[in-house]
Structure 1
Amino acid sequence: MAETITKIDKLINELCPEGVEFKELGEIWKRAPKSKIGVGKIPLLGVGKIICFTSGSKDYLVNDFLVDGEYIFVNDGGVADFKYYSGKAYYTDHVFTFGIESELVNVKFVYYFLKDNQFMINEKMFQGSGLKNLQKKLFETLKIPLPPLPIQEEIVKILDNFTELEAELEAELEARKKQYEYYRDELLTFGDDVEFKELGEICLNTNNIKWKENQNTNYEYIDLSSVSRDNNQISETKTINSDNAPSRAQQIVNEGDVIFGTTRPTLKRYSLINSEHHNQICSTGFCVLRANPKKLLPKFLFFILKTTKFYDYVENNQEGAGYPSISNGKVKKFKIPFPSLQEQNRIVAILDKFDALVNDISIGLPAELELRKKQYEYYRNKLLTFKEKLTV
């Protein structure tokens, strides 16, 4: 990598030793037509081989296109997330799309610059109460460094290589996750020799907080958004008390409880409560499952909630089209295998090892992927930082 950086430095010294020109994004872009199709109307486009970008993480393949060429796509509401594509493409109504007019500007170079500044763009150029929207008047004033085309192309080549390597590692990790999920489901599948019981039969009752009796105490509040869907950890909580507690802040959780998000349940928001969050408060949007320690290990219950069988049950029993949910009662009707505590311990020990191999960023492939991402972000920032040429 050092040799590559040296090559870039030589090109800069040769082609632009006094610095590079900066231009506002609005001076170099060509805005694509706004889409009139929302996500719900994507089926009207027919199934095909042309990518259709949405403002979310899911894209579709359709039979129509709005643009053909190199374009950059960003959702105009929520959180900034830039995408690049070359070829025919469609996009939904909450995706802002633009290309680059000048032949002296590499579209992918601009894309990588925007990715490198994504956090700043999200903080300063997405505004509004509630759902934030991209302020295009601000966005078009963003200054883009424009070194000579050979330098842009060399930087794109380097960053493409990083992206390709990262994609290979992610694909390998995804394959391992699928392998892990297969063995997990196999380990948690039992025959007639093991008793099955409803969750409600082997879980203990939980309590709600009485705010009138707890007026001088602060608690950490676990909302649905507090639980990471990537690693099932509780990431961000909000400090609340009787004065500012949301109406849904009701349920007391203890160490060893398993919480499962019942609102839009197929998003798979579930977590095992640790000592840090013992005796804190969670939203009524969770079903709190407290294993009876004489019969059921909390970690065994946690792994049960990860199984394909459980999510098939959830999908079949959720109600509501626009904002689906499943009741606590329905969740507790789910029947789980009930082997001996000794057998539960054995299975948990095996699954803990598997889980670490695909999720723990301190070891193995996840650690390598995390290292590559940090390395990529470092070099991307280094490669895309330029001295601005002074104009007299």
Structure 2
Amino acid sequence: MSKLDKLLRELCPNGVEYKRIGDFAMCFPGATPKTTHPEYWENGTIPWMSSGEVNQEEVTFTEKKITQKGYDETSTKMVPVGTVVIALAGQGKTRGKVAITRIPLCTNQSLCAIVVDETVISKYLFHYLRSQYARIREISSGDGTRGGLNLKMIKAYVVPVPPIEVQEEIVRILDSYTEKIDELIQNLMTEITARNTQYGYYRDKLLKAETNAHKYKLGEIATVTKLAGFEFTNYVTYSENGNIIALRGLNVKNGRLDLHDVKYVDKSDFSKLERSKLHIGDMLFTYVGTVGQVAIVEEEDKYYLAPNVALIRCDKEVLLPQYMKYYFQTTQFWDKQIRRLLQSSSMQNIPMEKIRKFEIAVPPLDVQNRIVNVLDNFEKICADLNIGLPAEIEARQKQYEYYRDKLLTFAETGNTILSRAEQSRAEQSRAEQSRAEQSRAEQSTD
């Protein structure tokens, strides 16, 4: 018999009492000082938490800070360490997510701070409310994407409140799971970093200028261009759906295309955008903001150029696009060309005429092919690790969620403080949770 089973038998022989959050906790929102008042924000020292920062889960920092004046002249309140915070609103999946604070801070009005009394351990409540994410979103007002929670809903939400000793043991068990997940992430990240360092070393060694390599200025062997401002303003129409993607700077990362966040341009005037149509083998180069990211286009009739990204279309009888991509990622190319240009500029950008003057050492095509094949294989190993990381973490996360939900499901005591209607809703909620657990168990077995 486990320690938890023993505690439940000894301390909860007749079940566990269910209480509304408002019966054992203070619940209050924050506020946002006016951004039009710089004296509320400039050189601020008080951490100010925004809705999206619940994704930290354990909040150890905030992106923004407010001044004492900003705090004094708004209704935001200081939230003590160990407070459970839940997002009342937010885009996408934010609404209903919970976090626990590890520093004193204040919050915006779209967050509800839940400060528990001595009958509840805040970390226990944190774990429980994480298990209730789907249910909490269901009770939100409004439709699925624009709905919102409010203080009344949070205070009325019913949770099981076992004795403190039981809560402590549940927290210990669940924290051990999350610690193992954190350790796994750290180990895998260390492995990925080591592989990427090794890959970078061999890439730089392979791409050092050979004696039989010919040096060209990029403009001599490639077309270098961009989408003009008037073209974007007059002819480009962004939309959230479609088939033709405008590749922006955020879509070009670490040598490949990142299509997690894309804009479509199907309704644009393509007759005026022929120059920015992208073809297989075209290389993209970010020249504003995050400068120097590259990626190769590998599909036809799917992509157009967006602002702040340069198109480099090389003469394939002289230079292979993949070789060019790898060359642009080498340490020596960065140190001698990109970084030097950025240091001499007051803005993080490189003009087209400077890009055309980049020097590139080009060996014969057969040598380029051999180098590309070696680096492609090495890059695939690194990519497989990057794919394996989220898959392994997801598997461990599902395991944590399964045991969390099992641990946080209790028989209800007859001495409940809830009304009959509330008891019925609570029983229905637990029945739904039980069915979900059974479904997850069956999927795990499959």
TM-score (normalizing by structure 2): 0.59
1:287 is aligned with what amino acid? Answer: A
CA distance in 2, matches of 1:244, 1:25: 57
8 Å CA contact retained: 1:145, 1:386: no
Secondary structure (helix, strand or coil) at the match of 2:82 reads strand
Is 1:355 the counterpart of 2:379? The answer is yes
The match for 2:82 is 70
Q: 1:329 and 1:16 mapped to 2: Cα distance?
A: 79
**Out of 104, 110, 124, which is 2:125 matched to?**
110
* Offset from partner CA, 1:70-100 (integer Å, 9 cap, x none): 13457876563754343x4446869947352
Using the TM superposition, give the Cα deviation of residue 319 of structure 1 relative to its aligned residue in structure 2, in angstroms.
Answer: 6.1
User: 2:152, 2:107 → 1: CA distance?
Assistant: 22
Matches within 5 A, 1:120-199: 137=151, 140=154, 143=157, 145-148=159-162, 149-186=164-201, 187-188=203-204, 190=208, 193=211, 195-199=214-218
1:303 shift after superposition: 3.7
Q: Conserved in 2, the CA contact under 8 Å of 1:116 and 1:381?
A: yes
Secondary structure in structure 2 of the residue aligned to 1:234: coil
Change (3 A) 1:242 1:378: same
Q: CA deviation at 1:329?
A: 4.8
Matching of residues 329-348 of structure 1 within 5 Å:
329-348=353-372
Distance 2:115 2:408 in 1: 18
Residues 221 and 280 in structure 1, CA contact (< 8 A), matched pair in contact too: yes
CA distance in 1 between partners of 2:5 and 2:269 (Å): 54
Question: Which structure shows the higher helix fraction?
Answer: 2
Measured after TM superposition, the shift of residue 221 of structure 1 is 1.8
Query: 2:313 matched to which residue of 1?
Result: 290
Partner of 2:277: 252
CA RMSD of aligned residues (A): 5.5
Kindly provide the amino acid, as one letter, of the partner of residue 145 in structure 1: V
Contact 1:71 1:97 (8 Å CA) reproduced: no
How has the CA–CA distance of structure 1 residues 224 and 122 changed in structure 2, closer, same or farther, with 3 Å as cutoff?
farther
Structure 2 residue matching 1:376: 3-state secondary structure: helix
Which residue of 1 is the match for residue 395 of structure 2? 371
| Partner residue in 1 for 2:419 | 391
Which structure features the higher share of strand residues?
Answer: 1
The letter for the 1-side match of 2:384 is D
Q: How far apart, CA to CA, are the structure 2 residues paired with 1:108 and 1:249?
A: 57
Say whether the 8 Å CA contact 2:224–2:311 is kept in structure 1.
no
Q: Which residue of 2 aligns with 1:203?
A: 222
Please identify, of 100-109 and 218-227, the stretch whose mean Cα deviation from structure 2 is larger. Answer: 218-227
Query: Does the aligned pair in 1 maintain the 2:15–2:410 contact within 8 Å?
Result: no
Change (3 A) 1:151 1:240: farther
**What is the deviation of 1:252?**
1.7
8 A contact 1:173–1:365 mirrored in 2: yes
Aligned length: 370
Determine the C-alpha separation between the residues in 1 that align with 2:410 and 2:341: 52
Aligned-partner Cα distance in 2 for 1:94–1:303: 47
SS in 1 for 2:284: strand
Aligned partners of 1:17 and 1:237: how far apart in 2? Answer: 55
User: Hey, what does 1:215 align to over in structure 2?
Assistant: none
* Structure-2 change in CA distance of 1:28 and 1:219 (3 Å): same
Which of 246, 251, 263 is the equivalent residue of 1:222? Answer: 246
Note if contact 2:244-2:302 (Cα within 8 Å) is conserved in structure 1.
no
CA distance in 1, matches of 2:306, 2:6: 54
Q: CA deviation at 1:168?
A: 1.7
Decide whether the 8 Å contact of 1:319 with 1:326 is kept in 2: no
Q: 1:279 to 1:96 in 2, by over 3 A?
A: closer
Q: Provide the C-alpha distance between the structure 1 equivalents of 2:307 and 2:225, rounded to a whole number of angstroms.
A: 12
TM-superposed CA distance for 1:108, in Å, is 1.8
* Amino acid in the other structure paired with 1:368: E
Shift of 1:152: 3.5
Following TM superposition, by how much is the alpha carbon of 1:12 offset from its aligned partner in structure 2, in angstroms?
8.7
Change (3 A) 1:260 1:169: farther
Q: Within 2, Cα distance between the matches of 1:21 and 1:334? A: 69
Residue 180 of structure 1 contacts residue 355 of structure 1 at CA under 8 Å; is this kept in 2? no
Deviations 1:190-220 (A, max 9, x none): 25845554544443467979999xxxxx742
**1:103–1:364 Cα change, 3 Å:** same
1:28 aligns with 2:44: no
Instruction: Determine the C-alpha separation between the residues in 1 that align with 2:13 and 2:352.
Output: 65
Classify 1:107/1:238 alpha carbon distance in 2 versus 1 (closer, same or farther; 3 Å).
same
- Asked if residue 15 in structure 1 is aligned to residue 12 in structure 2, the reply is yes
Cα pair distance change 1:384/1:303, threshold 3 Å: farther
- Contact 1:82 1:111 survives alignment (8 Å): yes
SS in 2 for 1:169: helix
- In structure 2, runs of 5+ residues without a counterpart are 69-77, 236-241, 421-446
- Counterpart code for 1:203: A
Whole-angstrom distance in 1 between the partners of 2:221 and 2:353: 14
User: In the aligned structure 2, how far is the partner of 1:380 from the partner of 1:181?
Assistant: 35
SS in 2 for 1:287: strand
On the 8 A contact 1:72/1:85 being kept in 2, the answer is yes
Within 5 Å, give how 1:91-106 maps onto structure 2.
96=111, 98-106=113-121
Instruction: Report the Cα offset of residue 341 of structure 1.
Output: 3.7
Q: Which residue of 2 aligns with 1:235?
A: 260
The answer on whether the counterparts of 2:217 and 2:357 sit within 8 Å (CA) in structure 1 is yes
Looking at CA atoms only, which structure, 1 or 2, has the larger radius of gyration?
2
Distance 1:36 1:104, change over 3 A: same
Q: Describe the SS at the equivalent of 1:253.
A: coil
How far 1:167 sits from its partner (Å)? 1.7
2:310 partner SS? strand
